[in-house]
Chains A and B, each alone.
Chain A
């Protein structure tokens, strides 16, 4: 999304944060359950057994492969560290492997969710980390209102995959 990011130790990072009125357990479920994930990620499902060291695959089944990687650290419902290789286009594939850290911290009756996308090469293609605001906004809306986003952008892959909201 932006032209460039902070370069720390030769790699770039981006940080996204939102407060969601929910419990850490419910938030963890929304991040790791394929059907819930699909509801706020344009139909993208994430499949894994969520054990430390396991692999995960995210895709719109039968339509497009989105990303793959390893679950480096799995500490429900607090922290998930994943390697991330984007797969949806040649441009993003060229970026190679980066790292995504999900952190859930209870604050009053809400949770602070922080997604840190780092280990990006300097000048990495903005699409690789540019989708997080849309995903986190959709996740907050889903958990707080129970409503799925139904704007045209959020339904991008939904029709193609026959995915039902």
Chain B
């Protein structure tokens, strides 16, 4: 199976996306801490974490007696580079330029002086 297939498969589950959100909010959590965020048995959470780790979406580190889980966004960035930016980023860049232009204060358009 291709790496990208594994990433999409791992992301195609609400509990696993929730676990990634938990790590985004606070990186480096233990299994016990992650269990509190999802309504599921310890075994269920372990199973989901293993799928996320196999897809490269999380990495783990031993710290004394506990195992810490870290969000690894590199595979998501690869998907972004391949599947998102091509279709969306040119537009997004244009739109964010429009947004800052519209939100800039009118007098700044007339006065070129620095603040």
A residues engaging B (CB < 8 A)?
Answer: 1-8, 12-19, 114, 132-134, 136-138, 140-141, 149, 151-154
- Kindly identify which residue among B25, B68, B74, B93 contacts A18, using a CB–CB cutoff of 8 Å: B74
Taking CB atoms, residues of chain A closer than 8 Å to B40 are none
Q: A151 contacts B85, CB within 8 Å?
A: yes
Known contacts A137-B77, A137-B78; is A6 also within 8 Å of B56 by CB?
A: no
How many pairs, one residue from A and one from B, have CB atoms within 8 Å of each other in the complex? Answer: 86
Taking CB atoms, residues of chain B closer than 8 Å to A18 are 56, 74-75
Taking CB atoms, residues of chain A closer than 8 Å to B85 are 151-153
B73 at the binding interface (Cβ < 8 Å): yes
- Kindly identify which residue among B3, B27, B72 contacts A5, using a CB–CB cutoff of 8 Å: B27
Taking CB atoms, residues of chain A closer than 8 Å to B68 are 6, 8
Among A2, A7, A16, A19, the one with the most B-chain Cβ atoms within 10 Å of its Cβ is: A2
CB-defined A-B contacts under 8 Å, sample of 7 = A1-B73, A6-B70, A15-B61, A16-B73, A132-B74, A133-B74, A137-B77
A interface majority secondary structure: mixed
B interface majority secondary structure: helix
Q: A151 contacts B28, CB within 8 Å?
A: no
- Kindly identify which residue among B24, B28, B81, B89 contacts A137, using a CB–CB cutoff of 8 Å: B81
Taking CB atoms, residues of chain A closer than 8 Å to B24 are 1-3
B-side interface residues, number (CB < 8 Å): 29
Known contacts A6-B70, A15-B70, A17-B56; is A151 also within 8 Å of B25 by CB?
A: no
B residues engaging A (CB < 8 A)?
Answer: 3, 23-29, 56, 59, 61, 63, 68, 70-78, 80-81, 85-86, 89-90, 93
CA distance A124 to B59 in the complex (A): 20
Known contacts A2-B25, A3-B26, A15-B61; is A133 also within 8 Å of B73 by CB?
A: yes
Nearest chain A CB to B62 CB, angstrom units: 11
Taking CB atoms, residues of chain B closer than 8 Å to A12 are 27-28
Nearest first, the 8 A-B pairs at minimum CB distance are: A6-B28, A151-B85, A137-B77, A133-B73, A133-B77, A15-B70, A5-B27, A152-B93
Nearest chain A CB to B43 CB, angstrom units: 24
Nearest chain A CB to B81 CB, angstrom units: 6
CA distance A1 to B24 in the complex (A): 8
A153's closest neighbor in chain B, by CB?
B89
Nearest chain B CB to A135 CB, angstrom units: 9
Nearest chain A CB to B80 CB, angstrom units: 8
Taking CB atoms, residues of chain B closer than 8 Å to A3 are 24-26
Known contacts A2-B24, A4-B26; is A152 also within 8 Å of B74 by CB?
A: no
Taking CB atoms, residues of chain A closer than 8 Å to B25 are 2-4
